[in-house]
Amino acid sequence: MSNTLQKRIDDQPSISREMIREAQGILHQHLKRVGLKHTEQRDTILRTFLETREHLSTDELHRLVTRKDPKIGFTTVYRTLKLLAECGLASQVAFHDG
């Protein structure tokens, strides 16, 4: 991992273009390792995720993503978030009521 992304991405005060490109590289390498293709939809989801500086549910991220590309389905967002977590670009947070 390079110097830019040594800290978790969500700990950064803002996201630069360089950091987005680096995150795309990390995701693309992970996709290749697990035998999946990189797609424009996955890149759109990643960029939207990185540009949003708050914790999001899958539903909330899906709403934001469909503003950019209405053809991206909920399942694609869900699976891409799992991929982002697998390669260290995202982390799951369990929220409990109460």
The pLDDT score that the predictor gives to residue 91 is: 83
- Which is more confident, 38 or 3? 38
> Where do the domains of the chain lie, and which CATH numbers do they carry?
9-86 (1.10.10.10)
Beta carbons of 64 and 52 less than 8 angstroms apart: yes
**What's the pTM?**
0.81
The pLDDT score that the predictor gives to residue 13 is: 63
pLDDT digits (tens, 9 = 90+) for 47-72: 999 988 778 899 999 999 999 999 99
pLDDT digits (tens, 9 = 90+) for 31-50: 999 999 999 999 999 999 99
Q: Give the mean pLDDT of 88-97.
A: 74
